Amino acid sequence: MEPHSLILAAAGAGTASNGAGAGHDPHAERVALLVALFVMFAAAKVFAEIFERLRQPAVVGEILAGVLIGPAVLNWVSPSLATETLAEVGVILLMFSVGLETEPRAIFSVGKTAMGVAVLGIVLPFVLGAGATLLLAGPLQLQAPLVPAIFIGVAMVATSVGITARVLADMNLLSHQSARIILAAAVIDDILALLVLSAVSGLATDGVNWVKIGATAALAVGFVALIVTAGTRAMKIAAPKIGRLRQRDPLFAFALALCLGLALLAEIIGIAAIIGAFLAGMTLADRSHEEELMHKSEALVQLFLPFFLVGIGMQLKLDVFRNPWVVVLALVLTVLAVLGKLWGGMLAARGLGRRAALQIGMGMVPRGEVGIVVAQLGFQLRVLNESLFGSALFMAIATTLIAPPFLRRLFAGESSAPTNAPDAACVEEDPIDIQ
């Protein structure tokens, strides 16, 4: 229902006092939604403009816009089910459009390197984060610090690939070799993080169920493999038929349905909805209509991505930082979160040369919404106290703000290979052998 408002606006004032509803005022809810829509979008675009003029990445500006308008500073808008719905739609559309620019072949060719990047990028941050929490357990007055430390480790693990993807898309570098490795590593990273969390959650509650974890692993890997192989082939056959349907722009409608459908399937299986959306985009990536699809989904991303980015900034909480040891922990976790992914990337991708290895490592640094969700889970389970929760939130948001400027510098001057021309993309400016 479109909550057409003339009515409630008129009635709201007169009847708020004796409304018989379940304690909620639909007019006020509608205004709150429209305030969130306008303020989040306008703030994002104003900050994007400022940051572009400062030659800084627009995504950083948009996240900081969220810090400013959110509870941490001005409190004009706070996170709600409505803003989270819009944010979810935004990042799903983003990863779908990134998928559209990513040919499966281009991902396969970097599989081995990506696997190394993902594995080391999970092990190192986990060990560093858990270790640092254990070392600081004394001054933070943690009793029984082991399980909380493990949770902090998990919050350090998974990459928020959306941020990096957006920075590289803004630079027109999605078909760059390092970008392809980052995207492939992020898919593997997501599956591995799912398994790590399965194990750790069991640890924190009623024991680790290895059979279930194995089944989850098999399902997740099978899902990805099936879509990347059979899905791509099926699309080649289906697309011309879909184009002949009667409704307006049937291929775009089908593409969006596929995006939402695979996002749902991925979520049910246990990997992230955005991975499903990314895979949906990828199966459509070498269709002949793909440029039209990209153009249209770019419009969708332009409207909805701000809600995702601003939404990340809106999560920041500052009140726990009155305790100086919490500040220390937050900063230490942030530094280790950066170093862990950076070292992981550099070790795993050292064969590609120092610059590419740095690019890849830095591309995995942002923790964004993934770190935030783990932290919230730990807080809900009462494994993390306010201080640890606040520190993990800070780490997630700080890594997301730190990476983009470095990425811009590390990728500056790289050839922006023509999008979706994998053969051309293999010819890098740096004379590096591929794999």
**Binders of a second copy in range 348-407 (CB under 8 A):** 368-370, 372-374, 376-377, 380-382
The span from the CA of 224 to the CA of 398, in Å, is 30
The stretch among 123-131, 230-238, 266-274, 421-429 that binds a second copy (CB under 8 A) is 266-274
The stretch among 101-109, 197-205, 319-327, 330-338 that binds a second copy (CB under 8 A) is 197-205
Query: In terms of CB distance, is 291 or 429 closer to a second copy?
Result: 291
For the segment 40-79, give every residue that binds a second copy (CB under 8 A). 41-42, 45, 48-49, 52-53, 58, 79
Binding mask 304-333 for a second copy (x = CB under 8 A): ----x--xx-xx------------------
Taking alpha carbons only, the member of 226, 161, 165, 231 closest to residue 190 is 161
The stretch among 128-136, 186-194, 329-337, 341-349 that binds a second copy (CB under 8 A) is 186-194
By the rule CB under 8 A, 274 interacts with a second copy: yes
**CB neighbours of residue 301 within 10 Å:** 22
Ramachandran class of 270: left when φ > 0, alpha when ψ lies in -120 to 50, beta otherwise: left
The stretch among 20-28, 121-129, 221-229, 409-417 that binds a second copy (CB under 8 A) is 20-28
Contacts of 292 (CB under 8 A, 6+ apart): 251, 252
For the segment 246-265, give every residue that binds a second copy (CB under 8 A). 246-250, 252-254, 256-257, 260-261, 263-264
Binding mask 204-223 for a second copy (x = CB under 8 A): xxx--x--x---x-------
Query: In terms of CB distance, is 46 or 230 closer to a second copy?
Result: 46
For the segment 79-98, give every residue that binds a second copy (CB under 8 A). 79, 81-82, 84-91
DSSP string, 118-175: HHHHHHHHHHHHHHHHHHTTTTTT-SS-HHHHHHHHHHTT---HHHHHHHHHHTT-TT
Q: Please state, in angstroms and as integers, the Cα–Cα distance from residue 127 to each residue in 149, 152, 156, 328, 332, following that order.
A: 10, 10, 9, 18, 13
Least Cβ distance, residue 327 to a second copy (angstroms):
23
By the rule CB under 8 A, 119 interacts with a second copy: no
> What is the residue type of 152?
I
Candidate residues 68, 170, 321, 432; the one interacting with a second copy per rule CB under 8 A? 170
Tokens standing for residue 211? 């059979």
Query: In terms of CB distance, is 81 or 324 closer to a second copy?
Result: 81
Candidate residues 215, 245, 318, 434; the one interacting with a second copy per rule CB under 8 A? 245
DSSP string, 97-126: HHHHT--HHHHHTTHHHHHHHHHHHHHHHH
Candidate residues 71, 111, 131, 202; the one interacting with a second copy per rule CB under 8 A? 202
> What is the residue type of 279?
L
Tokens standing for residue 299? 């419009």
By the rule CB under 8 A, 144 interacts with a second copy: no
The span from the CA of 71 to the CA of 59, in Å, is 20
Candidate residues 184, 300, 329, 356; the one interacting with a second copy per rule CB under 8 A? 300
Taking alpha carbons only, the member of 392, 265, 277 closest to residue 326 is 392
